[in-house]
Amino acid sequence: MDRQDELETRIEVLKKDRKAVILAHNYQIPEVQDLADFCGDSLELARKAKESDAEVIVFCGVHFMAETAAILSPDKTVLLPDEDAGCPMADMATAADLARLKDEHPGAAVVCYVNSTAEVKARSDVCCTSSNAVEVVSRFDGSREVIFVPDRYLGAHVERETGRKLILWPGYCPTHARLSSDQIADARSRYPGAPVIVHPESRADVCLAADEVRSTGGMVKFAREAGVKRIVVGTETGLLHRLKKENPGVEFIPLSDGAVCPNMKLITPEKIMWALEDMEPRITVDPEIARKALVAVERMLQGPVMGVS
């Protein structure tokens, strides 16, 4: 038995003992994706965290994702195998700064990308992910101002898709900000005919130069349905493992090998095993903040029908 098999066997035993489920984001390292019970994008993982009847959720992703799971399931123990796995974009918006912006725009609705702290969610009307941001913003009456926090590039994508002007926060994802339209031009000359798909956390010139702008879950669906032999993928490179595994007949080319989120790479099988052994590090949210944040997160999960105009 090699080291990975040994770890997997030990993790299986611990999982049963603890009544645990392992959820992994599409950007996790291949070994983590392969041992997870479920791999998905942010929205799919939030839904799984809410619906699971496990007592323990081992969240293989970054801090805000584990926090969202804790908000949705206060009765479950949520473990993040490496506490340092944060999201720099989530840390670009503080609740105090958002409160000041709200004061400057009384009556504005606040749509908050799920890549945010629980405190920011608690001050927002509704959350969204990259897969439903356009739909969530469209729920609000066109005459109402909308503050979109913290991703300026996802916000700009929503502006282009809806034709609305939003009040954008200046946050961004350092990993996706590395992608460029020059890389797309280069990929098009090297792989003529291959569709280029990019994540909406990318800058405007990148989104506009691409064929499709999709969340990681949307990219998985595109790869399954496109019926092409080669796809250029503009997002964090971890997604390529899942794409290749699910579509063995298709060649996937990363738009940039440099699109790596160091935080997403912090989780390893060893750390998952230690987390299950020690039941640490636990992610908890102050109950009062969690109560307010839950309203915004639940609205996101409820879908289009909700009274927030």
Selection from ligand SF4, ligand 13P, none that 231 binds (CB < 5 to 8 A by kind) is: none
Selection from ligand SF4, ligand 13P, none that 263 binds (CB < 5 to 8 A by kind) is: ligand SF4
* Residue nearest ligand 13P, CB atom distance: 41
Q: Binding to ligand 13P by residue 26, rule CB under 6 A?
A: yes
Instruction: Candidates 20, 263, 275, 285: give the one binding ligand SF4 (CB under 6 A).
Output: 263
Instruction: Read off the tokens for 223.
Output: 């790869």
Rounded distance between C-alpha atoms, residue 114 and residue 296, angstroms = 10
Instruction: Read off the tokens for 148.
Output: 């979109």
Q: What is the number of residues in the chain?
A: 309
Nearest approach, Cβ of residue 32 and ligand 13P (Å): 15
Residue with smaller CB distance to ligand 13P, 77 or 129: 129
Nearest approach, Cβ of residue 9 and ligand 13P (Å): 29
Letter for the amino acid at 27? Answer: Y
Q: Binding to ligand 13P by residue 116, rule CB under 6 A?
A: no
Q: Binding to ligand 13P by residue 130, rule CB under 6 A?
A: yes
Q: Binding to ligand 13P by residue 28, rule CB under 6 A?
A: no
Rounded distance between C-alpha atoms, residue 284 and residue 10, angstroms = 26
Nearest approach, Cβ of residue 23 and ligand SF4 (Å): 15
The binding track of 23-62 with respect to ligand SF4, each residue x by CB under 6 A or -, is ---------------------------------------x
Q: How far out from the chain centre does Cα 155 lie?
A: 15
Binders of ligand 13P among residues 177 to 216 (CB under 6 A) are: 199, 201, 215-216
β-strand partners of 127: 112
Q: Binding to ligand 13P by residue 41, rule CB under 6 A?
A: yes
Rounded to 10 degrees, the C-alpha dihedral 78/15/29/175 comes to -10
Residue with smaller CB distance to ligand 13P, 7 or 206: 206
Q: Residue 108: name the closest of 169, 173, 171 by CA.
A: 169
Q: Binding to ligand 13P by residue 263, rule CB under 6 A?
A: no
Residue with smaller CB distance to ligand SF4, 132 or 175: 175
Q: Residue 78: name the closest of 268, 280, 289, 270 by CA.
A: 280
Candidate segments 129-137, 157-165, 249-257, 300-308, binder of ligand 13P by CB under 6 A: 129-137
226 DSSP 8-state letter: S
Rounded distance between C-alpha atoms, residue 4 and residue 2, angstroms = 6
Nearest approach, Cβ of residue 26 and ligand 13P (Å): 6
Rounded to 10 degrees, the C-alpha dihedral 96/101/107/110 comes to -70
β-strands 77-79, 126-128 pairing: unpaired
In the block, residue with structure tokens 């926060």: 169
Sign of dihedral through CA atoms 295, 300, 306, 307?
Answer: positive
What residues make contact with ligand SF4 under the rule CB under 6 A? Answer: 62, 87-89, 115, 173-176, 201, 236, 261, 263-264
Binding site for ligand 13P (CB under 6 A): 26, 41-42, 87, 115, 129-131, 173, 199, 201, 215-216
